[in-house]
Structure 1
Amino acid sequence: MEGGTADMKKPLIGLLAASLALGGLAACGNDDGSSGAGKIAGEITVLTQRTDIVNTVFQEYKKKFEAKYPGTSVKFEAITDYEGEVRVRMNTKNYGDVLLIPNSVNADQLPSFFEPLGTVDELKDKYRFVRNEQTFDGKVYGLAITGNAQGYVFNKKLWTQAGITEAPKTPEEFLAALKAIKDKTGAIPLYTNYKDGWPLGQWEGARGAISGDPDAAIKLGQDDAPWTAGKEHFVIDSLLYDAVKGGYTEPDPTTTNWEQSKGLLGTGKIATMMLGSWSIVQMQQAASSKDDIGYWPFPYQTDGKFHTVVGGDYKNAININSKNKATARAWIDWFTDESNYATDQGGVSTLKSAAMPSTLAGLTAAKTEFIELNPAPKGQEGLADKIGNAAEIALYDGKYRQGIVDAARGAKKESKDQIFADLNKKWSQARAKLK
């Protein structure tokens, strides 16, 4: 989280490789599949990564919750290095009453640290993102604070000035649009944010969007050569390579700066960035008018339709060691059902009954189909990401795509075909070891 301003820089939770050391802390939780028995009263501590709004927006949440449940008190702890600090604190029992499940917690570790909120079957009709995110053995351990769609954020003024008013339908149309932006506006058509690394991992959000297949992640884990012509990773990484090779990205990627880039896009110095929909509100805040910021789906259609994958952001969960689980559960339910946090932050609501936010108007106008990825068969959970990590092709951290950018800009002597052949080789070797 950069300065507490983003909910998530990665489109899906629970896909990172880091393993949280359980040590000797494997506490035993209730095994009834639910939490919240007891009286809703007393104080709870809620951990959050939103250092930017903890003293404003979250104080309003506190007032509303405490008014609904007299006798309760909510205390917030905003943490800048959320992942790092909470991971350390989880080696004790002191990690708040309600917290966001860190990315480094593997699915089979969830019961050791968190109270189950119910079963998938009980919750799946009311909530998005519970079928395969932060679940284990049919139980749900966290509810998403918001959800993200995938595509790219852009400066509408620049795209319109270049003559593009509809979402490009193919990679070729997208590259032609970038060329028109460069020729007609002088702005940087596409900003990779290479130096920070993680923004290049955001390109992985197109997994599933290209094929329109909810089983895309499962099939990736079963594929020996994902960088073969026609397959999703070939399409994603070819577009990145071709955009850099064509001279449509920043002149010196080694000097990019994430925080500065928001202002550059908002004020029209940059036209486009491939980021999840969580970025829209941040770009709007950096623009002179929020109407200058648009959001479109990845430039690829299957069966004549654009697709976007929606996934949950961080998940609110109950510390299994909490002394006040009833109030902790009441907070999670209230936050999810009544706070309106997701929509206010421009995200997809965890409530299935809620409408899509206005920030995604560009996706709906392009008749984009929203899909959620299906849960993997038992024993194959997160397999594609495990293969990628073993092959040193971590799909979401951006490092291997930095190599693609380097080759495309001539900083290392490798053709696109050579890069993809090498990726396929490393991938198949790692997959063979993990079968």
Structure 2
Amino acid sequence: MRLKKFVAIGTAVVLSLSMVACSSKKNDNSKNTPTTKEENEGAGTEEETPEVSDDETLSYANIVLGESYTDISTTIKFYNNRTDMNQSDYAGKKWEEYVAEFNKMYPNIKVDIDADTTYADSALLRLQSGDFGDIMMIPEVDKKDLSKYFVSYGDLATMESEVRFASDMAYDDQVYGVAYMGTARGIVYNKAVFEAAGITELPKTPEEFTAALTAIKEKTDAIPLYTNYAAGWTMSAWDDYISGTATGDATFKNQKLLHMSNPFENKADGTGAYAVYKVLYDAVANGLTEDDYSTTDWEGSKGMLNRGEIGCMVLGSWAYPQMQQAGDNPDDIGYMSFPITIDGKQYASSGPDYRLGINKNSSEDNQKAAMVFVKWLTEESGLSYDQDGVPIAADDDNFPELYSAFEGIELVSDDPAVKGEEDLLNALNADSDLMVSAGGNTKVQQIIEHAANKTMTFDEIMAEWNAKWTAAQESNSVEVNQ
């Protein structure tokens, strides 16, 4: 399918999917702890920075693929989390295949793939040690520290004309990260299970979703909602729904949340952060999830969903192709929006997956080669399309067929923080220990634990979170809007 147009509202990127038309699946263009000052001082990143000659400023926009830097002969290392793309049984396109295609254009730039099964835990340590090669998927660090580790791709205005989500890794008008793909936030589900349960319309509110899960439990043998509690990192996915999806507001996460009084309180209209997390609490409390949350198996869950042993899982659109490839029933895999409706309309948060950063301390040739490879991944490789992701190149409107399920739903990308508050969310997260949209696995796991063990009501949990957020605002002298 091809999305007709990216609609900009303010500085937000909002996609209107009301005019989508499906096409064949072809690419026409063939979450960690913020660093502290002390940690950075001991990270070993104060080496002399390679300089690019004055007459040849390295920038993403100036690179012409197939023409720029064709004389470079070097090997670069790409540190990333996609270990599945290295495995022999991976049904999709493997890293080695992408690199082979890249080498048709740049035969003298070799790319070593360093994929890490513990990336979420190890990336920040590798960053601080400087041992992350030439390109890495950027972990959560303070925006002001980006220039300590990474090369600038160019100024923000220029990069916004080149790639989507450019502001996500921007600081002081410079962009330090380019996403390897974008995602929408929704729910991956098994169509056959929903049909067997008699669900004829996809749920659009929390109440309808709970009713659908109940029907699955009563009429099928499938686990209605699989939490993936034990994996840990999967829990942080729930944070991704509290902004655009739950509010329809592109300014919520990076601007309003910082100054909001009691952001986790009940809005009593089925919207907001309260409504998102309550979906999970109610599902567990009502026995609509797996019997023992502590024994969930992330890798095994993919095949279970494919076989119809699971009804649905709350994960970004990146999970959709993995579920399709996990068994013999790819056509049974569907993707739907999260069940929240705001004044009669549905929204879905959209944003970058990991952003690719280029090592500031790499050699000049390796910096050039790395930026060429990043631009090739963005414009020529088809990687984002192959992963059913939102395309990154700003002029690429070739969206995977997956997004036809979002017809009439607006995908909302978060606006950046206002100048001077780029790192305030990190500070509030650290001081509150809630880590909203920053790898907040523990707090979401605790929702499941309390719901299953009946040790705290949901309102008690939200009251505790509000108290922590308020205390963090006070310790950071944040002006709170009542």
Please report the TM-score for the alignment, with normalisation by the length of structure 1. 0.88
Alpha carbons of structure 1 residues 376 and 359: separation in structure 2 relative to 1, 3 Å: same
Indicate conservation of the 8 Å contact 2:206/2:340, yes or no. yes
- Select the residue among 376, 387, 391 that pairs with 1:349: 391
What residue in structure 2 maps to residue 321 of structure 1?
361
Pairing 1:57–2:98 present: no
What residue in structure 2 maps to residue 311 of structure 1?
351
Question: What secondary structure is seen at the aligned counterpart in 2 of 1:271?
Answer: strand
CA–CA separation in structure 1 for the residues paired with 2:456 and 2:112: 54
Pairing 1:299–2:339 present: yes
What residue in structure 1 maps to residue 250 of structure 2?
214
What residue in structure 1 maps to residue 35 of structure 2?
19
Alpha carbons of structure 1 residues 89 and 407: separation in structure 2 relative to 1, 3 Å: closer
Structure 1 moving runs of 4+ over 6 Å = none
Could you tell me how far 1:385 is from its partner in structure 2?
Answer: 4.6
CA–CA separation in structure 2 for the residues paired with 1:73 and 1:402: 41
Indicate conservation of the 8 Å contact 2:76/2:109, yes or no. no
CA–CA separation in structure 2 for the residues paired with 1:382 and 1:158: 43
What residue in structure 2 maps to residue 422 of structure 1?
464
Indicate conservation of the 8 Å contact 1:16/1:385, yes or no. no
- Select the residue among 270, 273, 276 that pairs with 1:236: 276
CA–CA separation in structure 2 for the residues paired with 1:83 and 1:182: 33
CA–CA separation in structure 1 for the residues paired with 2:191 and 2:326: 14
CA–CA separation in structure 2 for the residues paired with 1:28 and 1:379: 28
- Select the residue among 132, 148, 160 that pairs with 1:124: 160
What residue in structure 2 maps to residue 7 of structure 1?
none
Question: What secondary structure is seen at the aligned counterpart in 1 of 2:475?
Answer: helix
Alpha carbons of structure 1 residues 287 and 166: separation in structure 2 relative to 1, 3 Å: farther
Mean CA deviation greater in 397-406 or 35-44: 35-44
Question: What secondary structure is seen at the aligned counterpart in 2 of 1:275?
Answer: strand
Could you tell me how far 1:250 is from its partner in structure 2?
Answer: 1.3
Alpha carbons of structure 1 residues 426 and 158: separation in structure 2 relative to 1, 3 Å: same
Cα distance per residue 1:328-363 (max 9 Å; x no partner): 221111111100001101111112323221233322
CA–CA separation in structure 2 for the residues paired with 1:93 and 1:429: 35
Alignment of 1:87-106 (within 5 A): 87-91=124-128, 94-101=131-138, 103-106=139-142
Mean CA deviation greater in 335-344 or 419-428: 419-428
Could you tell me how far 1:308 is from its partner in structure 2?
Answer: 0.9
Amino acid corresponding to residue 26 of structure 1 in structure 2: E
What residue in structure 2 maps to residue 152 of structure 1?
187
Indicate conservation of the 8 Å contact 1:155/1:265, yes or no. yes
Could you tell me how far 1:198 is from its partner in structure 2?
Answer: 2.4
Question: What secondary structure is seen at the aligned counterpart in 2 of 1:46?
Answer: strand
Mean CA deviation greater in 47-56 or 186-195: 47-56
Question: What secondary structure is seen at the aligned counterpart in 2 of 1:121?
Answer: helix
Indicate conservation of the 8 Å contact 2:238/2:314, yes or no. yes
CA–CA separation in structure 2 for the residues paired with 1:213 and 1:160: 33
CA–CA separation in structure 2 for the residues paired with 1:321 and 1:172: 53
Indicate conservation of the 8 Å contact 1:280/1:346, yes or no. yes
What residue in structure 1 maps to residue 306 of structure 2?
266
Mean CA deviation greater in 389-398 or 85-94: 85-94
Cα distance per residue 1:230-285 (max 9 Å; x no partner): 16121112222222222211122122121222222111111011111111111111
Alpha carbons of structure 1 residues 223 and 317: separation in structure 2 relative to 1, 3 Å: same
CA–CA separation in structure 1 for the residues paired with 2:130 and 2:426: 29
Question: What secondary structure is seen at the aligned counterpart in 2 of 1:80?
Answer: coil
Could you tell me how far 1:83 is from its partner in structure 2?
Answer: 4.8
Question: What secondary structure is seen at the aligned counterpart in 1 of 2:331?
Answer: helix
Percent identical pairs in the alignment equals: 36
CA–CA separation in structure 1 for the residues paired with 2:48 and 2:171: 15
CA–CA separation in structure 2 for the residues paired with 1:405 and 1:76: 36
What residue in structure 2 maps to residue 73 of structure 1?
110
CA–CA separation in structure 1 for the residues paired with 2:464 and 2:123: 37
CA–CA separation in structure 2 for the residues paired with 1:327 and 1:378: 32
Question: What secondary structure is seen at the aligned counterpart in 1 of 2:259?
Answer: coil
Alpha carbons of structure 1 residues 209 and 382: separation in structure 2 relative to 1, 3 Å: farther
What residue in structure 2 maps to residue 3 of structure 1?
none
Could you tell me how far 1:85 is from its partner in structure 2?
Answer: 4.8
What residue in structure 1 maps to residue 434 of structure 2?
393
Question: What secondary structure is seen at the aligned counterpart in 2 of 1:286?
Answer: coil
Indicate conservation of the 8 Å contact 1:151/1:205, yes or no. no
Question: What secondary structure is seen at the aligned counterpart in 2 of 1:151?
Answer: strand
Pairing 1:46–2:77 present: yes
Question: What secondary structure is seen at the aligned counterpart in 1 of 2:411?
Answer: strand
Mean CA deviation greater in 91-100 or 42-51: 91-100
What residue in structure 2 maps to residue 136 of structure 1?
171
Amino acid corresponding to residue 43 of structure 1 in structure 2: T
Q: Indicate the RMSD between aligned Cα atoms, in angstroms.
A: 2.4
Please report the TM-score for the alignment, with normalisation by the length of structure 2. 0.80
Alpha carbons of structure 1 residues 86 and 413: separation in structure 2 relative to 1, 3 Å: closer
Alignment of 1:182-221 (within 5 A): 182-207=217-242, 208-217=244-253, 218-221=255-258
- Select the residue among 402, 405, 408 that pairs with 1:362: 405
Could you tell me how far 1:97 is from its partner in structure 2?
Answer: 2.4
Alignment of 1:281-296 (within 5 A): 281-296=321-336
Question: What secondary structure is seen at the aligned counterpart in 1 of 2:200?
Answer: coil
Cα distance per residue 1:130-182 (max 9 Å; x no partner): 12x12111111121111111011111101111122322111111111111111
What residue in structure 1 maps to residue 414 of structure 2?
373
Alpha carbons of structure 1 residues 70 and 279: separation in structure 2 relative to 1, 3 Å: closer
CA–CA separation in structure 2 for the residues paired with 1:239 and 1:74: 43
Could you tell me how far 1:394 is from its partner in structure 2?
Answer: 2.5
Could you tell me how far 1:88 is from its partner in structure 2?
Answer: 4.1
Could you tell me how far 1:46 is from its partner in structure 2?
Answer: 2.7
Alpha carbons of structure 1 residues 27 and 307: separation in structure 2 relative to 1, 3 Å: farther
What residue in structure 2 maps to residue 277 of structure 1?
317
CA–CA separation in structure 2 for the residues paired with 1:87 and 1:406: 28
Amino acid corresponding to residue 137 of structure 2 in structure 1: L
Q: Which stretches in structure 1 are left out of the alignment for 5+ residues?
A: 1-14
Could you tell me how far 1:322 is from its partner in structure 2?
Answer: 2.0
Number of positions where the alignment pairs a residue of Structure 1 with one of Structure 2: 416
What residue in structure 2 maps to residue 10 of structure 1?
none
